[in-house]
Amino acid sequence: MSEKKSFETARETLKQLTLRKLAPTPVNYKAVYNEIAGIPALEHFPAQELRSIATSLQAKTPGQQRQKGLLESAIDRMNWDGVRAAFVAYAGFLPANTESAAALASPTGEASAALTPDFLAQMGRLIEYAQPALGVDDERFIAQSKQLITALKQPDIDITAVKLMLINYSHRLSFAAEDQAEIKGALLKLLHLVFENIGDLSLDEQWLKGQMDALKAASSPPLSLRRLDDVESLLKDAISKQKDAKQKASLAHTEMRQMLVAFIDRLAQISQSTGSFQAKMEESARLIENARSIDEIAPVLKDVVGATRTIAHETLATRDELQSMREQANSRQAEIAKLHQELDRISTQSRHDPLTGALNRRGLEEALEKEISTVRRKERPLSVGLLDIDNFKALNDALGHDMGDGALAHLAQVARECMRPQDTLARYGGEEFVILLPDTELENAIEAMTRLQRELTKRFFMAGTEKVLITFSAGVAQLNNEEPGMDAIRRADQAMYLAKRAGKNRVLGT
C-alpha cells in the first residue's frame, strides 16, 4: 500500500471530523490527523499557560532571573524536563521565611546524621574545584570561599553555622556566576567589534576578511574546545598559505617593476640611437647635395649603409628583448592572478566546516540573508529543513569519535548528491544540519527531506567492515512574510524536536 500524501491525510481528517460529528477545533483536528497518519499521540504541552505562569514569576535576584530565563527557553522548546528543572531551581532562590530559618537553626537529628564529615568534605572539594571557573577578581568572594572550604573540612564541624555559611555563600555565588557570564559576554562583544573593524578596513583583502569572519563565527556561543581547535587548525593552515602567497605576489610585483624600469631604459636607448641615426642621415644628405662627383658620393653611401645596418641590428635586438619582457610580464601577471585566486579560495574555507565541507554557521547566515533577499524581491517561497542524526551519541560511544566524524561526512556527502544545485547545505552544530530550499513550498520541502531519508537508508555507512544504518529526524518550516530567517530555523528546530518525540526517523513540518 502506498504511503498517503499529506494533503490526502488532511482531506481524510476533515471527512472523519464530519462523520464523527466532532467540532473542527485544533485539538480534535490534530488528534484525528495523527491517528490517520500513524503518528503516536503526543502529550499536550500547555505552552500558553506555562508562559503566563513564567510572566507572573518574580525575578528579584540574579538566580531568579537566570531560572526564569531558562524556564522561558524550555517552554519555547516544549521541553518538560527543562520546565521541571527550572521550577525546582527557582524554588531554591526564594527568600527564606521565619519558619525555614528556625528549621536551619535547629536541624532535626535525621538531617544532622545525613551530613557526615565525608559528605561535607566532598562539598568542600566541589566548591574548591569550581573556583577556577568563577575568576579571581572578587577578593571578598575568594575569601568567603576559602573560609567555607576550611569550615567544611573541620573534623568537629558546627552543622548549624556551616548551613548559614552555605546560604550566604550561595547568594554570593549567584552574583559571582552572573558577573562571569556578563564578563564573558562583554569580552566576546569586544572581540566581535575588533574582528568587524579589521574586516571593514580590509575590503580589498578578501582573504583577511575571511579570517575575521571565521574568528567571529568561532567566538559565537555555544563555544566548545573542539570547535575552537578546528578553527585554530584551519586558520593556521590558511595563515601559512597566505604568507607564502603574499611573498610570491610581492616578488612578482617587484620583478614587474624591474622589467618596467628596463623597458624604459631600453626605450631611451632606442630614442638615442634613432636620434643619432637621424643626424647621420641629415649629414649624409647634405654631403650628397654638395658632392661634385661620384667619387665624393661613394664614401657617404658607405657610411649610410653602415649606419642603416647598425640601427637595423639594434632594432632587431630591441624587438627580441621587448618580446622577452612581454612574455615575462604575461607570465608574472598570470602568476599574480593565480595567487589572488588561491587567496580567495583560502578565504572561502573560513566559511565552510572543515570536516564535512558544508557551510558553517557564518556561511549559513550569509547564504540565508542572500536567499531571503532574493525570494522577497521575486516573491518566491523559501523553506528550511533542520535535521539531527538519531542516536548519534550512542554511535560515537560504540564506534569512537573518528567514526562519528566519518558518519557526519557520509551524511553530508549523501545530502549533497540528493540536493538540487540551488539548494544549500550547512552544518548547524554538532550532528545538526540545515538545508535551504529556495523556490520550494512546505509540502515539497517535506517530500525532499523524506527522499533524503530514504536515500540514506540505501547508502550504509561503512565503519571498517561493519555496515551502519544512519537515520535522522527533521523539521521543515516555510519562511513567512517579514519573518527573520533564524526564526524560521528555530521553528524547524521545534518541529524536529517533535519528530524525535514521535519516534525518530521522520520529518514533520510547521
Q: What count of other Cβ atoms lies within 10 Å of the Cβ of residue 106?
A: 8
Across 75-103, average pLDDT: 65
Domain ranges (residues) in the chain: 98-191, 245-349, 361-509
Among left, alpha and beta (phi > 0; psi -120 to 50; other), residue 114 is alpha
Q: How does pLDDT run across 253-266, given as a tens digit for each residue?
A: 676 677 666 666 66
Least confidently predicted of 114-118, 323-327, 357-361, 378-382: 114-118
Q: What is the 3-state secondary structure (H, E, C) of 408-466?
A: HHHHHHHHHHHCCCCCEEEEEECCEEEEEEECCCHHHHHHHHHHHHHHHHHCCEEECCE
Q: What are phi and psi of 474, to 5 degrees?
A: -140, 150
The DSSP bridge pattern shows strands 432-438 and 424-429 to be: antiparallel
Identify the pLDDT of residue 384.
96
Which of 129-138, 221-230, 422-431 has the highest mean predicted lDDT (pLDDT)?
Answer: 422-431
Q: Which of 455, 487, 474 is nearest to 382 (CA)?
A: 487
Longest dimension (CA), the chain: 146
Asked whether residue 336 carries a pLDDT value surpassing 80, the answer given is: no
Distances (CA, A) of 92 to 12, 165, 373: 50, 16, 47
Instruction: Give whole-number Cα distances, 240 to 164, 235, 336, 364, in Å.
Output: 58, 8, 18, 26
With a cut of 90, say whether residue 178 has pLDDT above it: no
Q: Residues 315, 210: contact at Cβ < 8 Å?
A: no
* pLDDT, position 266: 61
pLDDT for 402 equals: 86
User: How far is the C-alpha of 4 from the C-alpha of 8, rounded, in Å?
Assistant: 6
E runs forming strands in 199-329: none
215: which DSSP letter? H
* Backbone dihedral angles phi then psi of residue 384, each to the nearest 5 degrees: -125, 135
Q: How far apart are CA 369 and CA 371, in angstroms?
A: 6
The whole-angstrom separation of Cα 447 and Cα 461 is: 23
Phi-psi region of 290 (alpha: psi -120 to 50; beta: other; left: phi over 0): alpha
User: Helix, strand or coil for residue 45?
Assistant: coil
CB 267 within 8 A of CB 321: no
CA distance 391 to 303: 97
The number of beta carbons lying within 10 Å of the beta carbon of residue 487 is 12
Angle between helices 225-290 and 206-218 (to 10 degrees): 170
To which residue does cell 562583554 refer? 186
Q: Which residue has the higher pLDDT, 302 or 55?
A: 55
Least confident of 229-238, 399-408, 447-456: 229-238
Site of grid cell 528550511: 384
What is the reported pLDDT for 98? 43
Question: What was the pLDDT predicted at 254?
Answer: 72
To which residue does cell 547568594 refer? 171
What ranges in 201-224 are assigned the alpha helix state H? 206-218
Which is higher by pLDDT, 354 or 92? 354
pLDDT recorded at residue 102 = 47
Judge whether residue 150 has pLDDT over 70: yes
Question: 222 preceded by cis ω (within 30°)?
Answer: yes
What does the pLDDT read at residue 105?
A: 45
- CB 404, CB 395: distance < 8 Å: yes
**C-alpha span between 435 and 416 (Å, rounded):** 10
Question: What are the tens digits of pLDDT across the range 483-498?
Answer: 999 999 999 999 999 9
Q: What is the mean pLDDT of residues 121-138?
A: 73
Query: Which of 38-47, 149-158, 389-398 bottoms out in mean pLDDT, i.e. has the lowest?
Result: 38-47
Task: Name which of 492, 361, 362, 389 is nearest 437 in CA terms.
Answer: 492
Residue 7 has what pLDDT?
Answer: 73
52 alpha carbon, distance to own chain's centre: 35
What is the Rg, in whole angstroms, of the alpha carbon atoms belonging to the chain? 38
Rounded Cα distance between 241 and 254, Å, is 20
Q: How far apart are CA 234 and CA 236, in angstroms?
A: 6
Candidate ranges 190-199, 259-268, 496-505; pick with highest mean pLDDT:
496-505
Distance CA 176, CA 452 (A): 48
Tell me which of 338 and 32 has the higher pLDDT: 32
The CATH topology of domain 361-509 is Alpha-Beta Plaits (3.30.70)
